[in-house]
Amino acid sequence: MAPHAAKPPAPAGQETVASDNNPIGPPSGLSAIPSQYNSEQGLRQSMKQIGYDEAREDGYRLKGIQLIDSVRQSLQLPVKTFDTAAIYYHKFRLRFPSNEYNYEDVALASLFVACKAEDTIKKSKEILCAAHNLRQPHDHKTPDDKIFEAPSRFTVGLERHILETIGFDFRVQYPQKVLIKMIRKMFPREGDGTLEEGKKFLRVAYSMSIDLYKTFAPIKQATFTLVLAIIELTALLLDTDPAKTQEFRRATAWHTQRSCVLETMLDLLDLYTQFSKSTKVGTQFALQKLMDVKIDINNVVAREKHHRYHGWCDRCAPDMLDTQSATPGSATSPATNPSLSGSGSAKRKRAPSEGTQRFVFDADEARKEKELVLRYFNDEYEEVEVEVEEPIKESEPRHPGRSNHSYRNHGHNQADYGWPGHHRNNRHGHPSDRHRSRRGHGY
């Protein structure tokens, strides 16, 4: 039986009412502080658990984000809805393998949830209709068409899985707003030349902020880190005067670290050098220019003795690098294998650490509550040695009360005690029976 916690003293002037009907016990649910960001090693661990095939999944990641952006522009939704949908899309695909769900269904469902989270309400049929009209412009449909009935029900079903994946944590950073303020600070309205340069800088930087969500950087870094990386990389690509970006190079003044900014810049350059045609900025610059900037940043990382990824653990590295294992059933492309309501992931069990999350905003109260709850869940055992005397039973006689002769004399058709059983029939007789006296056999 769990011990009862001591009741706090009642304030002066109030009477304490004893209530035995409501026993004190641990609160229901799992108290947890959700983390908004993840490290590169944490992401690779998640990829390894779902069998992430890097060569195949990168294409689905780019196509899914591009679909979200296209539908968002078609429905004239704000960019913050795109940011939220992209974060949900990444988190969902880091938990569920792509052979269980079609990436297009996940992308549209993420946009549907993001519209609710950002108060830009759109019906699921409107999102599905916009995606259909983008794929097939010659076959224009309206949201009231019956063709969207079944996909709409499936999108609503996916909404529950997305909410479970993010743990009802709707915190998402929006770098575009801070980016515009910093660029205005860089290029004040002093002359026509400065204004035109600022507009050109803003066009490239804003497009880069959209391309940034095609990488995992938004779920690894904070808002100021993303903005500083975009500004510095844009300045390097446009050969902007270094004096204008000098104040933004002090990472500690913007609540971040220099290694995080360099990591984000290298993530963007990896995207532009490998998938330039799938980005907005990659096609605006020559590949040689991108490679030169990437080499310069790598030299800075080596000179300042930073890791490629911030917070990288060398002892844990061998377990994280194997992320290219093939997913079972990966030969079947999700593009040709549409999601079904009876998919295997619908029956996915919760992890042992998962549960109903409760959001506690006061850290001190959360720690006190955790200490109180642990008293009811900790199992304490005490070893006790007890000496027990066991009586030794006396052996019983082998032939209790009777002898073998009495059975034979009375003609009982039973085997003698202490002798194996024998048959009356000669055909089934044991070879040793010939030494035993039998009746009617001439012995």
What would the pLDDT profile of 214-271 be if each residue is shown by its tens digit?
999 999 888 999 999 999 999 999 988 888 888 888 877 888 888 899 999 999 999 9
Cβ-count burial 67-83 (b if 16+ within 10 Å, e if not): bbbebbeebebebbbbb
Helix, strand, coil abundance in the chain, percent, nearest 5? 55, 0, 45
- How many other β-carbons are positioned within 10 Å of the β-carbon of residue 210? 19
Angstrom distance (rounded) from CA 298 to CA 308: 8
Angstrom distance (rounded) from CA 79 to CA 93: 21
pTM value is 0.68
Give the pLDDT score at 16: 46
Give the largest Cα separation in the chain, rounded: 139
pLDDT below 70 — which residues of the chain? 1-34, 190-193, 317-360, 397-443
Closest of 76, 10, 39 to residue 308, by C-alpha: 39
- Which residues sit opposite 358 in a β-bridge? 31
Give the pLDDT score at 400: 55
H or E, element range at 109: helix 103-117
Give the pLDDT score at 188: 82
Closest of 289, 166, 209, 216 to residue 62, by C-alpha: 216
Angstrom distance (rounded) from CA 232 to CA 312: 23
DSSP annotation of 395 reads P
H or E, element range at 31: strand 30-31
Contacts of 313 (CB under 8 A, 6+ apart): 41
Q: Which residue has the tokens 């076959």?
A: 139
Closest of 131, 133, 111, 132 to residue 122, by C-alpha: 111
Give the pLDDT score at 40: 82
N-term to C-term CA, the chain: 78
Give the pLDDT score at 98: 78
Give the pLDDT score at 358: 63
CA 363 to mean position of chain CA atoms: 24
